[in-house]
């Protein structure tokens, strides 16, 4: 049996897993990371992943919807601008379409008023 990690080490591990969750790693990939990187059992790995998911959920609860929308609008505008500058017009069009869906502009919306 290996030595127990400190509270600080565990917090760092959970934060690392939370970052991997945000990046889109699957449950299987997370479990593999925990068991191979830190030598933990599958049961311990499940606990760590559960704690990391709780951290991600808590982060999302703290974000105001308007702030989130504003952040994503700015991000998509920057992506579109960068794509045009790089000559990737199809990427710019994609970003503009996503922006349209996000903010609800355009004739394709089902709001009933135009």
In degrees rounded to 5, what are phi and psi of residue 33? -60, -45
pLDDT for the residue numbered 107: 57
Q: Which two tokens stand for residue 18?
A: 């939370």
By residue range, what is the domain housing residue 84?
Answer: 65-103
The answer to whether position 109 is within a domain reads: no
Could you tell me if 39 and 11 lie in one domain?
yes
Could you tell me if 85 and 70 lie in one domain?
yes
pLDDT for the residue numbered 43: 96
pLDDT for the residue numbered 103: 86
Integer CA distances (angstroms), 31 to 10, 44, 88, 103, in order: 15, 9, 38, 37
pLDDT for the residue numbered 106: 66
Q: Tally Cβ neighbours within 10 Å of residue 49.
A: 21
pLDDT for the residue numbered 114: 44
Per residue of the chain (114 residues), give pLDDT as tens: 457 889 999 999 999 999 999 999 999 999 999 999 999 999 999 999 999 999 999 888 878 888 888 988 999 999 999 999 999 999 999 999 999 988 887 655 555 444
pLDDT for the residue numbered 30: 97
């Amino acid at each position: 049996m290996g030595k127990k990690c400190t509270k600080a080490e565990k917090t760092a591990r959970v934060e690392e897993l939370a970052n991997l969750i945000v990046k889109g790693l699957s449950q299987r990939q997370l479990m593999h990371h925990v068991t191979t990187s830190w030598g933990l059992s599958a049961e311990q790995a499940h606990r760590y992943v559960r704690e990391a998911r709780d951290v991600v959920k808590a982060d999302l609860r703290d974000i105001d919807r308007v702030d989130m929308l504003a952040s994503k609008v700015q991000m998509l505008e920057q992506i579109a601008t960068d794509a045009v500058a790089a000559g990737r017009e199809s990427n710019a069009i994609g970003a503009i379409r996503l922006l349209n869906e996000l903010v609800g502009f355009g004739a394709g919306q089902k709001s009933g008023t135009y």
